[in-house]
């Protein structure tokens, strides 16, 4: 069982984060989740899910798990966006990696420039300085030179830039297929086994 961090910010694409949580929990991991205020707004707008940090229950995020995934196999912890006293704010708290999914351009810029004004930024900074896996999943288009420079800055610092760009060579037939494509790539980067899609060259 790994301790993993998943941060959800205010970019469009909440469905990617929710599916990622379902898969990681189904695999039996402990997942530490942080939602930015904008991330909560987008989650409610896109998926109709309203999260209350003060009285959090897993059903607020995952009311109907996808397919035969069983989130009860893992443990989910929700941390307040402003809580610097939690473990993931320190490099002494060992994790198997962190994913910011989806990652807003504001969060990306803050992390790229070493800001630590909230728990998401601080946890990302910790993963970079400790040379642990940090996966950033931007979902924005078009991209200007400032955003591209920030992505390069993060990549040079050791982060994995994994845009939410689903592939079509598997002949997707639903939105779920497109979502699973991206989540499968994230899991590959984390070293999490999955069977969400056929790999290129497989029968």
Position 38 scores a pLDDT of 97
- The model's pTM: 0.96
**Structural domains in the chain?**
3-190 (3.40.50.1950)
C-alpha R_g of the chain: 16
Token pair for 109: 């810029």
Position 80 scores a pLDDT of 95
Task: Fill in the DSSP letter of residue 50.
Answer: -
Three-state SS for 31? strand
Q: Which residues of the chain have pLDDT under 70?
A: 203
Position 152 scores a pLDDT of 98
Position 78 scores a pLDDT of 96
Position 51 scores a pLDDT of 92
Distance of CA 177 to the CA centre of its chain: 18
pLDDT digits (tens, 9 = 90+) for 164-200: 999 998 899 999 999 999 999 999 999 998 888 878 8
């Amino acid at each position: 069982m790994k301790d993993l961090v998943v941060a959800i910010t205010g970019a469009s694409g909440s469905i990617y984060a929710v599916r990622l949580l379902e898969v990681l929990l189904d695999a039996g991991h402990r997942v530490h989740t942080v939602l930015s205020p904008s991330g909560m707004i987008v989650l409610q707008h896109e998926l109709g899910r309203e999260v209350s940090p003060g009285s959090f229950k897993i059903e607020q995020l995952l009311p109907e798990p996808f397919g035969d995934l069983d989130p009860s196999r893992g443990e989910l912890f929700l941390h307040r966006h402003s809580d610097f006293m939690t473990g993931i704010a320190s490099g002494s708290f060992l994790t198997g990696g962190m994913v910011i999914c989806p990652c807003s351009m504001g969060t990306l810029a803050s992390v790229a420039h070493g800001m630590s004004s909230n728990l998401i930024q601080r946890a990302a900074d910790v993963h970079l300085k400790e040379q642990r896996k940090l996966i950033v999943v931007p979902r924005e288009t078009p991209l200007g030179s400032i955003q591209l420079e920030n992505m390069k800055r993060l990549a040079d610092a050791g982060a994995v830039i994994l845009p939410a760009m689903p592939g079509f060579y598997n002949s997707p037939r639903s939105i779920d297929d497109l979502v699973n494509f991206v989540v499968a790539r994230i899991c590959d980067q984390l070293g999490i086994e999955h069977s969400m899609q056929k790999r290129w060259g497989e029968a």
